[in-house]
Amino acid sequence: MSFYVVIGFGAAGAATARLLAEQGHSVRVVTKSGGRDPEPGIEHVAFDATDSARLTEAARGAVALFNCAAPPYHRWVAELPALASSACAAAEATGAVLVMLGNLYGYGPVDVPMTEALPLAASGPKGAVRAAAWEEARKLHEQGRIRAVEVRASDFFGPGVTDGGHLAARVLPPLLRGKPVSTLGDPDAPHSWTYLPDVARALAEVAGQERAWGRAWHVPTEPARSVRQMTDRLAAEAGTAPVAVRAVPAPVLALGSLFSPLLRELKEIRYQFTRPFVVDASAYEAGFTVRATPLDQQVKATVDWWRERLNTAGRRL
């Protein structure tokens, strides 16, 4: 049994902590609130992970430190750099392997399937701050000061994803009620959706593989499918009639952004939904064992989870 520390208990942090605990490891989760229902093998502690001294003490003796945390979307640029630097400092002080959860923003708009060989050329602030976080860790790794690896995922999909996931927040709740679905861009543009349990499995795998360290890897992901295709698959699994899938008109988005910080921030990455957004994880698959969960299993587990969540919410009303 080993000891691990996970920063953040959002969808990815929770999935990673629970997977490690299920494997028999001891897990300490760091969040600002700390308050969670007890779970076997998981200890929750409360403090701000940007406090590198406290994070270092929490990570003493850890085999790996998983940084799965992110500030609220509209505060990424202001707050994410301090979080990333604190994780690097704790990894250096303790010797724990730093395993970073990243995304694909750092590449910026591209016209080809995304591989890890693409330059981090994002011009937008959220993409730039994501790229800078990895560059900081990579340089420290090359200097021999830390051991670091980044795992990059596309939009999360699956049980436990309730926000920050396009299919979760915008598709499943209306679909299960037989209502039309709206999308931020072209409903027929191919898009990669990374299954949340596969994210956790990839993070756990590279933490223990020295040959993985020092670079970034893409999480194995099923072939890209459009929002319309995914909605049709989800509807078929749910047993509902097919529902209409419509793009939100640009003027409506512009008006909404006047009142919603989230919509304002989404303007930077709207390209991800107006053109093909396809991830290539062949490098990971050539070197490691995790593979993307078959889509039929992904869809069934996700529909079952959302149906139970919505039914439970309905019983509480």
What is the pLDDT at residue 310? 82
> H helices within the chain, ranges in order?
11-22, 52-58, 76-94, 125-142, 166-170, 172-176, 196-207, 227-238, 250-257, 261-266, 271-274, 282-287, 295-316
- Which residues of the chain does CATH 3.40.50.720 include? 3-156+193-218
What is d(CA 97, CA 100) in angstroms, rounded to the nearest whole number?
10
Structure tokens at 68: 């799965």
CA 6/CA 16 separation, integer angstroms: 8
Residue 161 neighbours by CB under 8 Å, 6+ apart? 11, 167, 168, 196
Percentage of the residues of the chain whose pLDDT score is greater than 90 = 75
Determine whether domain 158-191+223-277+294-316 maps to CATH 3.90.25.10: yes
* Positions of CATH 3.90.25.10 in the chain: 158-191+223-277+294-316
Each residue's pLDDT tens digit, 211-261? 999 999 999 999 999 999 999 999 999 999 889 998 876 666 666 665 666
Overall fold of domain 3-156+193-218: Rossmann fold (3.40.50)
Q: What is the pLDDT of residues 122-155, one digit of tens each?
A: 989 999 999 999 999 999 999 999 999 999 999 9
d(CA 23, CA 227): 34
Give pLDDT < 50 ranges for the chain.
316-317
Radius of gyration, alpha carbons of the chain: 19
**Pairwise CA distance, residues 131 & 152, whole Å:** 11
